[in-house]
Homo-oligomer: A and B are copies of this chain.
């Protein structure tokens, strides 16, 4: 156990379990924020919410290989251990769970958790195996940390719904707290992947959120035809020379079913590539 300020760093699942068992026995409310590190203001908002609600907050930093597909950016995914620790200390986090890959996936590991249809749409077809990887590692982390609640951001909206579904379907006693997307001043959703963007790409990337606002504006002015709404969004993206559009869709915010007529509260979600960098964003009508 390595101590940094008031933050204790735990590397092994068994150490982590000991700490969380002791919390539970002492009747202390345990909050959990799982991350892949390279922490930005979006993560900080999740951590701060946990610190507000809990007696003890655990954050984890684990770049989970099983949620990266072949050809994805696992190897070059940003790592910033020192910066992450400083930020967590500043937020008043009590424990950082920072396991090795071999602690999470020992030799012979072979169990997978799949959440059915919720993972088949939106990002699912573009990232085969991604959501199974997410669900499996989150279930493991939940079993190791055993929190009373865990905090997730709406930026990864589909992930959030999948985890909520998994927790309900598997009878886990963990409250899932959702937090709004944190954005740069020009509207770009905070993401560790924004660091990949070149200067000119960074400027073009502002069209991603603008396109969603365009849809919302047109919806508020009375149009509920998804085809027309989405054509508008496409126009905004293409004007910024964003032509590699994985999807832009309007869906039920809970079941993620596709809409033809948009309704208040519906999800508008998109994934695009700006250069090599894949960006996602969403907005609620």
Contact = CB atoms under 8 A, between A and B. Distances in A.
Contacts of A116: 110-112
Contacts of A144: 171
A160 to B, nearest CB: 15
Q: How many copies does the complex hold?
A: 2
28 contacts: A13-B171, A17-B171, A17-B173, A110-B115, A110-B116, A110-B117, A110-B118, A110-B169, A111-B113, A111-B114, A111-B115, A111-B116, A111-B165, A111-B169, A112-B113, A112-B116, A113-B113, A113-B114, A113-B170, A114-B114, A139-B170, A140-B169, A140-B170, A140-B171, A143-B170, A143-B171, A143-B172, A143-B173
A283 interface: no
Contact of A110 (B111, B112, B165): B165
A166 interface: yes
Interface residues of A, number: 26
Interface in A150-187: 165-166, 169-173
Interface in A114-151: 114-118, 135, 139-140, 143-144
Interface in A84-106: none
